[in-house]
Amino acid sequence: MIIETERLRLRPFESDDAEWLFEVTHHKDVEKWLCGAYSTCLKDAINSIKFYYSVADFTHDFYFVIEDKKTYERFGFLNITQGFDNELEVAMFIAEEYRGKGYVVEAVKGFSKRIPNRILEFQIDWENEASLKAVGKIEGIAEKTSSYPKYLTEELCFFVLET
């Protein structure tokens, strides 16, 4: 599945993305959440793409590289995996120089149009002001903290979007 928006192209990971994925997973904003996944060596990134990204069924699990539609430059990823109660958990990374330009909102809107009648769940660190601002611009999103244990909500906030 390839999704194109006005400026973006969301496409499945390919083996040529391994070195880029390896570099991205060493970024401080990503490493914090992935806890070493893909990052011990380049071979791990290659194997991850072969296993996880190549078997994405595009019903329950979605793994996309986010790239510029005109230049094909990679600058982010969007991973959406099956969570509890048919909710899809969203993980996203945008390179620093591309932040603040509306790419998060555009990518999520482009994706959500392709999967009707699903719930997307965003878990965001309270200190991540850019992500909080971006998710606030997605039409139809609602905060959802009451159903989660309190100790999680002191560090994270939860948002849901019904597609």
In the prediction, which pLDDT does 84 show? Answer: 66
CA 12 to chain centre: 12
> Higher-confidence residue: 121 or 65?
65
SS3 of the chain: the string is CCEECCCEEEEECCHHHHHHHHHHCCCHHHHHHHCCCCCCCHHHHHHHHHHHHCCCCCCCCEEEEEEECCCCCEEEEEEEEECHHHEEEEEEEECHHHCCCCHHHHHHHHHHCCCCCCEEEEEEECCCHHHHHHHHCCCCEEECCCCCCHHHHCCEEEEEEEC
Which class is 3-117 in CATH? Answer: alpha beta
At 40, the amino acid letter reads T
pLDDT band at 90 (very low <50, low <70, confident <90, very high): confident
Q: Specify the residue for token string 């509890």.
A: 84
Give the pair of three-digit tokens for residue 44.
């791990």
Q: What is the mean pLDDT of residues 24-32?
A: 70
In the prediction, which pLDDT does 148 show? Answer: 46
pLDDT band at 151 (very low <50, low <70, confident <90, very high): very low
Residue 5: is its pLDDT beyond 60? yes
In the prediction, which pLDDT does 150 show? Answer: 40
Q: Which residues contact 107 (CB under 8 A, 6 or more apart)?
A: 5, 8, 10, 64, 66, 76, 78, 92
Instruction: Give start and end residues of each alpha helix (H) in the chain.
Output: 18-24, 28-34, 42-48, 103-112, 129-136, 150-153
Q: Give the number of other Cβ atoms within 10 Å of residue 31's Cβ.
A: 15
Domain boundaries, the chain: 3-117
